[in-house]
Amino acid sequence: MKLIILDRDGVINQDSDHFIKSPEEWKPLPGSLEAIARLTQAGYRIVVATNQSGVARGLFDMTTLNAIHEKMHKACAQAGGRIDAVFFCPHAAEANCECRKPKSGMIQEIAERYGMDLAGVPSVGDSLRDLEASARLGAQPILVLTGKGQKTQAKGGLPEGTLVFPDLAAFVVTLEL
């Protein structure tokens, strides 16, 4: 099975320092939906792994988060793509849970759900915590320069072997699809 793990905000859709709090605020990044469609058509299973502490902070509830994800699923489908699953951590950083990136609990859950070793599986994110969570389990860290990606690259300290691309579409073009 071909699997790819994507962060949500800053990779698939525009990010906001004030959180994406409604379906209306969810706006895809240029080329991201088409990139997901290319992956889908090439037989990839696409899984989203996203921290969503806005739930714990009371900025939005689970019904709203589900509506945001429904909009994302529909937008992908309209472009010819499919997101197979969305894994998320609703906890605030202070909760010190195992599922919040940079810890690897959410990524481990993906490995268990799909019954596979994540060695070499592309994991695309725009922040250091995205890359660290996946790299710990052997996934291939991919930094995109959208969202917080440029700041992440400038700070340095990326996991060994991190590949850097302007955006999700630029990364997908490099795959042998």
With beta carbons less than 8 A apart as the criterion, state whether 124 and 11 touch. Answer: yes
Full-prediction pTM beyond 0.95? yes
Which of 7, 15, 126, 167 is catalytic? The answer is 7
Which of 9, 15, 130, 167 is catalytic? The answer is 9
7 in catalytic set = yes
Give the pLDDT score at 19: 96
The dihedral sign for the CA sequence 121, 8, 83, 111: positive
**What string of pLDDT tens digits covers the 177 residues of the chain?**
999 999 999 999 999 999 999 999 999 999 999 999 999 999 999 999 999 999 999 999 999 999 999 999 999 999 999 999 999 999 999 999 999 999 999 999 999 999 999 999 999 999 999 999 999 999 999 999 999 999 999 999 999 999 999 999 999 999 977
84 in catalytic set = no
Nearest to 32 by CA among 81, 68, 88, 70: 81
Domains of the chain: 2-39+50-147+168-174 (3.40.50.1000)
Entry field: residues in the chain: 177
Phi-psi region of 64 (alpha: psi -120 to 50; beta: other; left: phi over 0): alpha
With beta carbons less than 8 A apart as the criterion, state whether 4 and 144 touch. Answer: no
